[in-house]
Amino acid sequence: MILGGGTAGTMAANKLHKELPSGEWQITVIDADDNHRYQPGYLFMPFGTYTPDQVTKSRRAVLNSSVDLQYGEIDVVRPEEKVVALTDGREFAYDMLIIATGVSPRPDQTDGMLGPQWQESIFDFYSYDGSKALADKLKNWTGGRLVVNIVEMPIKCPVAPLEFTFLADSFFKDKGLRDQVDITYVTPLPGAFTKPIAAEAFGNTLQAKDIVVESDFMLMEIDNEKKALVSYDEREVPFDLLVTVPLNMGAEFVARSELGDELNLVPVDKFTQLSTQYDSIFALGDANDIPASKAGSVAHFEIDIFVENFLQHIAGMEMTHRFDGHANCFIETGDGKAMLIDFNYDYEPLPGKYPYAGVGPMNLLKESRVNHLGKLAFRWIYWNVLMPGRSMPLPPLMSLKGKKTELLDQNQSKEPAFSA
């Protein structure tokens, strides 16, 4: 039984279908509707690069035809009985459960976000509706103070707010409006990104594009009258147009089933994704609490390893494969260029070449045209290679080949704990 037919749930279903004997196992996916969204496309919709219909396919069509798909809202999981109950009263028994319901933006969790300015001057691009509404707003916006904000980590695709900012810079330049727009990037992190070497590279790019960074900003509320972000330490950042990434939380049924932490993420073993509470439950993709990026690329590498482990687990054997937290992400930097980062639990993103040492053709942590083309090609790869569960010619575990590891020693933080 797989809860959620998005990126992780679909890949898991289609890959397990190939491995599990059909006479012994039936795979059922439960989701609320038939709209499988290509979420990376939400980044491009506000700028008109992708239209809404380019980011949507039928879940049914993307799943293998022998996988059963049921539509419904999940009410609760009763792990002791191994039963999933839907809000319409239907109940499904399972032998093994995979939770793949991801995380969702929750504007209701910040005071003032859903106030009178919501979708007037406050927008998000982490939802289909939000991204569409922002596209309409940007068509006619004539300039002012644009503020891009992350409420709290972790969020899906942690580089997306940076990409949005770079693309906005490029978008306004193309419209001849850039000198009418002030761009400020407001983040709860101490810098542009979580990991020091990449944070420096992104920080330099922001600076070069004349974008101001307001760091260590813990958002307390949005003042709708003043149109300003207010932090817990009483800083205020005024805006004319706010593009915020609301708090990301796991599904509510996870909380009702007492399977989640304070953000409704399912605690799992970070190497196998097996629930720390029940050995009949795995949680894959954004829905779990592993200390890696919440991103489709992580789900992809994770599920390659997971399938091997799952087969051992149901055979009563010890799981011997270990996921390393591997992620790689293209980062749009505007003007038809992009960066690429490749990293895992132990190694932060480093400059170099990918996937082949010295050759590339992709450049790590450096802007280039070829990276941008890679990003655009990715939508085709997503629908035609990743979702059907076909293999990519990339190893699931991260490799240090081609990476400038010497930077790690040079970049050890020497700063004292607190600068008053």
Partner 1 sequence: MATTTINGKEVVVDDEGFMTDYDQWDRQIAEGLATAIGVDMTDEHWKIIDFLRDDFKVKGETPTIRRVSSEGGVDIKRLFQLFPKKPAKKMSYIAGLPKPHGCV
Cα distances (angstroms) measured from residue 250 to each of 85, 96, 153, 173, 267: 18, 20, 13, 37, 11
Nearer to partner 1, 82 or 235 (CB): 235
Least Å distance between CB 312 and partner 1?
Answer: 25
Kindly give the pairing relationship between strand 219-223 and strand 228-231: antiparallel
- Exposure of 316 in the CB half-sphere (CA atoms within 13 A): 0
Nearer to partner 1, 21 or 416 (CB): 416
Nearer to partner 1, 68 or 221 (CB): 221
Least Å distance between CB 300 and partner 1?
Answer: 16
Least Å distance between CB 304 and partner 1?
Answer: 20
Nearer to partner 1, 274 or 327 (CB): 327
Nearer to partner 1, 65 or 413 (CB): 413
Q: How far apart are alpha carbons 1 and 280 in whole angstroms? A: 11
Least Å distance between CB 10 and partner 1?
Answer: 24
Nearer to partner 1, 218 or 381 (CB): 218
Least Å distance between CB 294 and partner 1?
Answer: 8
28 Cβ contact list (under 8 Å, min separation 6): 1, 2, 67, 68, 69, 70, 92, 94
Nearer to partner 1, 72 or 191 (CB): 191
Least Å distance between CB 249 and partner 1?
Answer: 10
Least Å distance between CB 80 and partner 1?
Answer: 22
Q: Are 133 and 140 in contact (CB under 8 A)?
A: no
Please list, residue by residue across 371-386, b when 16 or more beta carbons sit within 10 angstroms of its beta carbon and e when fewer do.
bbbbbeebbeebeeeb
The total number of residues written for the chain in this structure: 420
Nearer to partner 1, 39 or 170 (CB): 39
Residue 135 tokens read as 């596209």
Q: Which residues bind partner 1 (CB under 8 A)?
A: 152-154, 158, 188-189, 193-195, 216, 218, 220, 232-233, 261-263, 291-293, 327, 343, 412-418, 420
Residue 162 tokens read as 């940076």
Sign (positive or negative) of CA dihedral 248, 252, 254, 255: positive
**Cβ of 350: how many Cβ atoms within 10 Å?**
22
Nearer to partner 1, 36 or 156 (CB): 156
Least Å distance between CB 154 and partner 1?
Answer: 4
Q: How far apart are alpha carbons 188 and 181 in whole angstroms? A: 23
Least Å distance between CB 16 and partner 1?
Answer: 27
